Every structure is written in structure tokens, then in C-alpha cells.
Amino acid sequence: MGYKTDFARVQGLGTAGDGAHHWWLHRISAVAMIPLTLLFIFPFARTLGNGYEAMIATYSNFGHALVAVLFFLVGFWHLAMGLQVVIEDYVPHKPTRVALLLGNTLFNGALAVAGILAVATILFRA
């Protein structure tokens, strides 16, 4: 603690400076997830557990494929932003936090691309 002023204690620690922007993007993705969840979940629930033919039949349909691609794109974007906030709130140890934030971004990015590529392959193959 010592004799430092409050200002000196926080000077240079900084923020990323884009918190409000992050907050706003999170809200935009949240609004987009309302129709996307309603459109994705029911066809998916009907298809799950009904075998290969049923799966290909559902997702070789352009409408279902489009919804699935948008659901993965916006969903993993929203998930990555949410997990980022959770990590920033609960992991004070800086090296661990940076490692988790990096992993979070890469992991969700990879999952989103994998999901989108899979749906696109099923659609184009049919």
C-alpha cells in the first residue's frame, strides 16, 4: 500500500478501452439469438436420434442449413463473449487469465468454423 495516491495505484493498469463496445455487441448477438434459437432447436430436436438419413434430409435443406450456420456463427460469438466476461470476473491471476482468454477465443472460433463447415458440406454434397 505505502504512500501511493489512489491515482498512482491504478495508473498504467489500464483497461482495454472497449468495454462499452463489447457490452453492445453482446446485446446485439443476444437479440439475434432469440429468433435463431426458436428456428434451430425444434428441427434439431426432431432430427436428433433418428439416424443418418433423417439428419442428411434435414440439413441438405437450404433453410435448415442457413439457420444452423447462423446459429453456430452468432451462438459461438455470443458464447465466447459471455465466457470472456466470466473469466475476467473470476480469474484474477493475470497469466492464467490471459491464457484462458486466448484459449476461449481460439476454441470457440474453431468450434464455430467446424460446425459451419460441416453444415455447408452436408448442404453442398446433397
Which residues would be at the binding site for other proteins (CB under 8 A)? Answer: 1, 3-6, 27, 30-31, 33-34, 37, 41-42, 44-46, 48-52, 55-56, 59, 68, 72, 75-76, 79, 82-83, 86, 111, 114-115, 117-119, 121-122
Residue closer to other proteins, measured from CB, 13 or 52: 52
Judging by beta carbons within 10 Å of its beta carbon (0-12, 13-18, 19+), is residue 87 exposed, middle or buried? middle
**Cα–Cα dist 43/35, whole Å:** 13
Residue closer to other proteins, measured from CB, 99 or 126: 126
